[in-house]
Structure 1
């Protein structure tokens, strides 16, 4: 295949694979944050949760959120789906663009298969912009290995501008520092004096870009917390890395039977990459090899880093012909396999691989549609019905809500006046909060005293697709003081509902004078006097 065609086709394939309903629940928190910024300015304290968050509250995603908000405002959720698909396609093209070798059909089949297996990682999250910016770095950094020229100056200006935007897109912006450092360090000895000075000045300016923002020092320090969370440097980060789904290692997910096909493919890709790096000294530029090693480490520690590995893996390893040539030589030597037989076998493998992936993908498409229309939102991940119930049946001002983290952002987006217990921004919470939050899923009986102490009068929890909260949902169902006031196939809402019998004591008799229904911090007299003996009053109480 000609060099340009497979690159374009790869980008198109990734675009098609990424065109699926919105599944990541953080997107609603991002939209709510953008709206809050436009209405109230840059927040320094958590505007959404009634539980304590670290202060000052740093929002590194602001530009990403504003872009999403604009698209959602003018094009709705379909616009968000289309945008993410197109941008992931652009990411794929940028990463494969520097490949100068001829991409054989069998190479493309491997690219196609891995992209299909990893397709659900192509979500509408800030990592999308990080991969886009890294792709720009991937293409422009080789200019720093050459003498200072107009191209060198233009490349450095573009990279600094990209880094400045990246700082307010996602906390992974230091990856630009790392990639630039690798490119400069590995070529430093071969540079002229002017080249060394120029690259040194560029790198210093790159490091200083966060300081050009409001909260610059805090933004610069923010990624240290991300690194701490990745390696489990304190109690909070250990809980986060071990218990929160997308932060678990692929081996852990595989052992727990979650996302098995993608995790097996990821581990196979890591093994192939390690083997290729050790076998071929000139697989790619040294800084690109170094970045692939970093991608391997990041992907091996947390599932959420899968795309940080996949695209350099596609650019360096899957497009390299060395392994095929080595395999052919070994077969010719040991098994007397002719070049023609080897070529025919590869063609058969390529055709079968394409057919299998296309067939599997086509079979999965009906899940994207409902009543003949494309679903822009994965409804089973959202408490849409429960939130509408809460809109029609609001709590009193003094009462509080308990909710799972996946529903928090959606509640904040749809019900801006409702404060949530959690919304997925666990980096803003301490270890005590995380331990208590997860403890309720393991020891649900401890939730009730906690709720009483903090005036929690309503709970919203998933009852089907997230096993973590099933025990607490069952405990709420069995507790007579909590009543299920709404339930659909995915979420349920419970209200705190206590019956107190008020007694009147005199010197001659002990008379029950009233039955009070205390619900949501308001009091309703159900009955008084002789009416309290009516049997209908005590049904299900």
Structure 2
């Protein structure tokens, strides 16, 4: 195979793996407000003041990412989520193909390292301006890696500062990474400063060729010195990440530094600073992975050349098979929510809560959590302004600290007194902390709407009085992660009937609310109203025909009604629709219940098999363990 064909073959494999790893539906909260900002710029021009948050109150805003936001919105408006995800995939592929080409002296080794690095950076493959940083960083490595800086710069090298202008408009001060690469190389090498010095100065100046001008510098410095980095996950120091692929690359990079220093000092400096950056902040890990690919090729390549080389017709398919197996294992173990999908979809949350607020003509200031701001901006801004969103520098560290800990009673009191909220939109959590407790116990607030995604609380004031009279809840507290709190309520018939009225009102306002449907079925069975319970279960199956939970509810009603055949059939239908990720939870419960039905039918051996399988799926399934122990005695 000729050298050019080898590069094309291995480069295509690297690109394919990068696209595959990035092929998942947009879910990052910041993606939503970036898209809405892009739309705003297309429709209204470059923003000088903030249009989205009443906290910022139309204050000055440096839209340093404006060009990437316009690109994201333009792509999305043309082809929706599939084209947006494909665009992201092309950018990810470009970054890793560039570092593969930088190490092209050993194509097979460079491809293997680039693919492994792409796996390590998978968590950062999101539709945000940061993705452009990876492309430009990879391009900088490709252009400068083999350069002899003791020789004068050529005319072609002046493309570098021109590219910095583009980078700056895509992601503001992050473009300083380009001049930093060049400056570090010039300092570390015996450089021809007379020709390279002006080019470096032009590259630095290129960063402020931006509609915001010097505002880009202010934004960059503010980000570097932001005192509350510990509050934001991606800005924290890495911990468990260093036990995975990134950790292997970090260790290999550290051991490679002495060898690189002897051969090309500037590459050792780049790799060393990339390693330090990754240790200081999680979001810098991809830069280490990119820099490590050509560095490790330089270190390991000469050693491999002395060994008997494998033929490409063995290496290429073997690498492709390994990448496929790696994708499956990596997805199952690390990113089960990013498995292989067909056509990506963008599901923006909070449609129901916002529709309720609009329907009831509720205005004023609304509280929302930090993580929810992006979706609310996408859906409702600028008509309905948000309280907080994914931006940090604009709000400041103290505000950010209060918002991220809003569920503490003293913090909530301070926020409410300062901003005088009229309503609050709070996300529902399937597990974890009961954050909505501060609102449930407050005499000044009452729940008015809820669905599977979020809850809407209204302040008890004159403007909300009539709405709360029609929609206010007294018993339900859907912010809790379990339903144990309703046990005292359903202990009496009167309490059960009052709870059913509230659940009926929930399902009238949010017909697709699976949690309300589940609670309704539980209460109806508790009251021995099997007919209405079966009707509710049938409605759940009709609404969620692809979900195992709906069939589980139907089976449980049949089992409670003493209908074992119908129950077993529904349980097996639930099992057929069960997602792999739900095996340890819902799946183990289904198998345990099937085991009990088999036991009732006199099939002792079948029950043992089902109980054993339930324990295999979830070793902590206590009911299955007790049932199996009882049968084996």
TM-score category (smaller protein):
0.7 to 0.9
Alpha-carbon spacing, 1:305–1:368, altered in 2? closer, same or farther (3 Å): closer
Is the Cα contact below 8 Å between 2:97 and 2:114 reproduced in 1? no
Q: Secondary structure at the match of 2:52?
A: coil
Pairing of 1:256-405 with structure 2 (within 5 A):
264-282=244-262, 285-317=264-296, 320-321=299-300, 354=323, 356-360=325-329, 367=337, 374-377=343-346, 379=347, 382-396=349-363, 399-405=364-370
- In structure 2, distance between residues paired with 1:41 and 1:26: 21
- Deviates further, 294-303 or 209-218: 209-218
Of Structure 1 and Structure 2, the greater strand share is in 1
Displacement, 1:32? 1.8
- Show CA shifts across 1:36-77 (max 9, x none): 223433323221111137953211101111111111111112
Q: Secondary structure at the match of 1:250?
A: coil
TM-score of the superposed pair, with normalisation by structure 1? 0.75
In the other structure, the counterpart of 1:447 is 412
Alpha-carbon spacing, 1:206–1:394, altered in 2? closer, same or farther (3 Å): farther
1:426 aligns with 2:426: no
- Show CA shifts across 1:2-56 (max 9, x none): 6513233222211211111112211111122222223433323221111137953
- In structure 1, distance between residues paired with 2:73 and 2:162: 22
Q: Secondary structure at the match of 1:402?
A: strand
- In structure 1, distance between residues paired with 2:230 and 2:336: 34
- In structure 2, distance between residues paired with 1:393 and 1:166: 45
Is the Cα contact below 8 Å between 1:31 and 1:68 reproduced in 2? yes
Is the Cα contact below 8 Å between 2:261 and 2:267 reproduced in 1? no
- In structure 2, distance between residues paired with 1:363 and 1:57: 41
- In structure 1, distance between residues paired with 2:271 and 2:11: 20
1:228 aligns with 2:225: yes
Residue among 228, 244, 252 paired with 2:232: 244
1:124 aligns with 2:127: yes
- In structure 1, distance between residues paired with 2:42 and 2:323: 47
Residue among 140, 145, 167 paired with 2:143: 140
Alpha-carbon spacing, 1:522–1:465, altered in 2? closer, same or farther (3 Å): same
- In structure 2, distance between residues paired with 1:55 and 1:144: 48
Alpha-carbon spacing, 1:28–1:360, altered in 2? closer, same or farther (3 Å): same
- Deviates further, 268-277 or 358-367: 358-367
Alpha-carbon spacing, 1:80–1:480, altered in 2? closer, same or farther (3 Å): same
- Show CA shifts across 1:285-306 (max 9, x none): 3222212212112211222222
- Show CA shifts across 1:108-132 (max 9, x none): 4454344224312211111211121
Stretches of structure 1 lacking an aligned partner (at least 5 in a row):
230-236, 255-259, 330-338, 341-345, 499-517, 527-534
- In structure 1, distance between residues paired with 2:117 and 2:287: 14
Aligned residues between the structures:
463
- In structure 2, distance between residues paired with 1:203 and 1:424: 33
Is the Cα contact below 8 Å between 1:250 and 1:267 reproduced in 2? no
Alpha-carbon spacing, 1:389–1:289, altered in 2? closer, same or farther (3 Å): farther
- In structure 1, distance between residues paired with 2:174 and 2:449: 40
Alpha-carbon spacing, 1:352–1:47, altered in 2? closer, same or farther (3 Å): closer
Residue among 59, 72, 81 paired with 2:76: 72
Displacement, 1:263? 5.2
Alpha-carbon spacing, 1:519–1:369, altered in 2? closer, same or farther (3 Å): farther
Alpha-carbon spacing, 1:306–1:204, altered in 2? closer, same or farther (3 Å): same
Displacement, 1:522? 7.4
- In structure 1, distance between residues paired with 2:427 and 2:135: 34
- In structure 2, distance between residues paired with 1:8 and 1:270: 26
Is the Cα contact below 8 Å between 2:62 and 2:216 reproduced in 1? yes
Displacement, 1:322? 5.8
- Deviates further, 412-421 or 196-205: 196-205
In the other structure, the counterpart of 2:178 is 176
Alpha-carbon spacing, 1:412–1:277, altered in 2? closer, same or farther (3 Å): same
In the other structure, the counterpart of 1:232 is none
- In structure 2, distance between residues paired with 1:215 and 1:350: 46
- Deviates further, 180-189 or 349-358: 349-358
Tell which has more relative contact order, 1 or 2 (C-alpha 8 A, sep 6+).
1
Is the Cα contact below 8 Å between 2:256 and 2:299 reproduced in 1? no
- Show CA shifts across 1:353-379 (max 9, x none): 556414325768995689x853433x5
- In structure 2, distance between residues paired with 1:14 and 1:323: 27
Instruction: Give the alignment's Cα RMSD to 1 decimal.
Output: 3.8
In the other structure, the counterpart of 2:166 is 165
Displacement, 1:177? 1.2
Q: Secondary structure at the match of 1:216?
A: coil
Q: Secondary structure at the match of 2:438?
A: helix
Displacement, 1:80? 0.8
TM-score of the superposed pair, with normalisation by structure 2? 0.65
Alpha-carbon spacing, 1:362–1:130, altered in 2? closer, same or farther (3 Å): closer
- Show CA shifts across 1:120-151 (max 9, x none): 221111121112122222222355737457xx
Stretches of structure 2 lacking an aligned partner (at least 5 in a row):
310-314, 471-493, 503-633
Is the Cα contact below 8 Å between 1:368 and 1:375 reproduced in 2? no
Displacement, 1:394? 4.3
- In structure 2, distance between residues paired with 1:68 and 1:451: 35
Is the Cα contact below 8 Å between 2:36 and 2:377 reproduced in 1? yes
1:410 aligns with 2:353: no
